């Protein structure tokens, strides 16, 4: 018990330090809407104003916003309060992640489980944001831990927390339920029908929420609001195949290729030689069964598949990787393989793709380099008294500062996609947005004058003026 406690304290110390170092990081990408703007709504309209304004309502249960707004009302509306509000979620996540690792791995491997948790770039990036994805990841591992150790009542709260933050959270509740069924089928050669009873409260909540939402606004789930309807169409065969390519890329992206190559080698050797242990079979069953269910949902939709959607499976694949550390082949290569994989994951935070190639900017710590450049462009606009209504910007960059860094400024830029380039004399550009096509980037280069450029470790912010 003492050995396990020190590793839990190690993870908790890391979570505390991470929160301390990033407590003033502004909201970023989807969290500008799902966390900040929704929290603002509840902060200003009251914690019981569950139906969001039309421009904010994408169908998700909005309770991460309620949670943040409650902290703001008690401790003050600051970035630090929002970040520290997420610390309990990080602590619960790291605790139950370790309990899962403890179940599948011998004590000698626990340190490696902690290492690869800390180094997973997409997980840690999300942990530096006020993100409902962290709640989903936390709930998944809490449910899984409760199943492994037969602490079933905990499933009620864990699955409820997943279901109240987003539709995808509710999907992941079903995924972890299927994972639990697969676990019992492999371990005990039986179907544990009673397991579903512990998931009924979260299912009832989700049905009840959508019925309430239907009664209030006339639609449920997602896709009825035209602001997001294009993301929820059914994909055709070509789009489904492309989605499969994107999923495969996401698994290998940002340094994870350094982990997956040896993992597949170890796995292949173990399967061919019939050397998979009972617990490895259980972990593989949990991984594959829940992932297949999740893919059945996301592959058939046109919604872009973000790296953050798959963080649960990145973490589980690292546990599977560590589970092979006792095989003979690993003993021969561990002196250089562990450092190689570790360095590979660390470098993932610095992977920058060429302009015009979409990148998951909310999936590595590289996004932190954006805010200094943003500040430089804002200062230039203010110094030169450029009318903000004449400035066009891309995804979330057009949103007023009160929702990004909680500063009150007159800086509501126009949204290029909605309003068109022809309506602006200036363009606020950064490579952290994936809005621009190759043709638009070429037009920007040829027909617009660069007024200021601020770049840091490959992340650039620029202001352009239309050439006369």
What pLDDT, on a 0 to 100 scale, did the predictor assign at position 227?
66
pLDDT in tens, 366-412: 999 999 999 999 999 999 999 999 999 998 899 999 999 999 887 88
Instruction: Tell me the average pLDDT across 287-299.
Output: 97
pLDDT exceeds cutoff 70 at 223: no
What pLDDT, on a 0 to 100 scale, did the predictor assign at position 385?
93
pLDDT in tens, 407-433: 988 788 999 888 889 999 999 999 998
Alpha-carbon distance of 174 to 192, in angstroms, equals 15
pLDDT exceeds cutoff 80 at 224: no
Tell me the CB-side half-sphere exposure of residue 110, using CA atoms within 13 A. 22
pLDDT in tens, 239-276: 999 999 999 999 999 999 999 999 999 999 999 989 89
pLDDT in tens, 10-24: 999 999 999 999 999
Instruction: Tell me the average pLDDT across 92-99.
Output: 98
pLDDT in tens, 79-89: 999 999 999 99
Alpha-carbon distance of 285 to 111, in angstroms, equals 24
Q: Which H or E element spans position 463? A: strand 459-466
Token pair 């294009």 is found at 230
Of 18, 19, 25, nearest to 369 (Cα)? 25
* Residues 176 and 136 sit within 8 Å (Cβ to Cβ): no
Residues 6 or more apart whose CB falls under 8 angstroms from that of 225 comprise 54, 57, 58, 59, 219
Alpha-carbon distance of 4 to 103, in angstroms, equals 11
pTM above 0.85, yes or no: yes
Q: What angle do CA 295, 29, 93 make, to 5 degrees?
A: 60
Report the percentage of the chain scoring pLDDT > 70.
97
Alpha-carbon distance of 170 to 159, in angstroms, equals 8
- The three state secondary structure string of 211-268 is HHHHHHHCCCCCCCCCCCHHHCCECCHHHHHHHHHHHHHHHHCCCCHHHHHHHHHHHH
Binned at pLDDT 50, 70 and 90, residue 231 comes out as low
């Amino acid at each position: 018990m003492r050995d396990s406690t020190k590793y839990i304290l190690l993870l908790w110390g890391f979570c505390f330090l991470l929160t301390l170092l990033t407590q003033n990081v502004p909201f970023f990408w989807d969290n500008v809407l799902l966390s900040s703007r929704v929290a603002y709504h509840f902060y200003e309209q009251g914690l019981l104003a569950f139906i969001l304004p039309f421009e904010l309502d994408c169908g998700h249960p909005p309770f991460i916003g309620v949670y943040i707004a409650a902290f703001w009302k008690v401790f003050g509306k600051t970035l630090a309060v929002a970040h520290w509000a997420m610390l309990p979620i990080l602590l619960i996540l790291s605790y139950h992640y370790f309990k899962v690792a403890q179940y599948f791995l011998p004590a000698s491997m626990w340190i490696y489980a902690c290492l690869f948790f800390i180094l997973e770039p997409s997980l840690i990036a999300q942990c530096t944001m006020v993100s409902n994805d962290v709640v989903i990841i936390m709930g998944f591992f809490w449910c899984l831990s409760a199943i492994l150790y037969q602490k079933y009542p905990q499933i009620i709260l864990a699955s409820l927390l997943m279901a109240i933050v987003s539709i995808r959270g509710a999907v992941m509740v079903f995924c972890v339920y299927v994972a639990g069924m697969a676990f019992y089928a492999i371990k005990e050669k039986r179907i544990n029908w009673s397991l579903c009873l512990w998931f009924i409260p979260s299912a009832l909540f989700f049905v009840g929420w959508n019925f309430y939402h239907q009664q209030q606004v006339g639609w449920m789930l997602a896709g009825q609001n035209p602001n997001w309807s294009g993301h929820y169409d059914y994909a055709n065969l070509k789009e489904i195949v492309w989605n499969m390519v994107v999923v495969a890329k996401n698994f290998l992206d940002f340094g994870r290729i350094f982990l997956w190559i040896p993992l597949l080698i170890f796995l292949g050797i173990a399967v061919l030689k019939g050397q998979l242990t009972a617990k490895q079979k259980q972990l593989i069953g949990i991984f594959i069964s829940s992932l297949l269910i999740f893919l059945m949902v996301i592959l058939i939709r046109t919604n872009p598949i973000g790296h953050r959607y798959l963080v649960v499976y990145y973490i589980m694949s690292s546990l599977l990787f560590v589970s092979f550390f006792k095989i003979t082949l690993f003993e021969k290569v561990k002196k250089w393989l562990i450092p190689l994989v570790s360095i590979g994951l660390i470098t993932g935070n610095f992977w920058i793709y060429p302009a015009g190639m979409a990148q998951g900017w909310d999936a590595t710590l590289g996004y932190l380099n954006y805010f200094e450049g943003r500040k430089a462009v804002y200062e230039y606009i203010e110094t030169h008294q450029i009318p903000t209504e004449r400035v066009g910007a891309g995804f979330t960059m057009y949103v007023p500062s009160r929702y990004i860094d909680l500063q009150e400024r007159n800086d509501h830029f126009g949204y290029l996609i909605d309003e068109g380039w022809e309506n602006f004399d200036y363009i606020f550009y950064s490579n952290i947005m994936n809005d621009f096509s190759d043709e638009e980037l070429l037009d920007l280069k040829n027909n617009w004058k660069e007024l200021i450029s601020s770049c840091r470790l490959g992340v650039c912010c620029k202001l352009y003026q239309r050439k006369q």
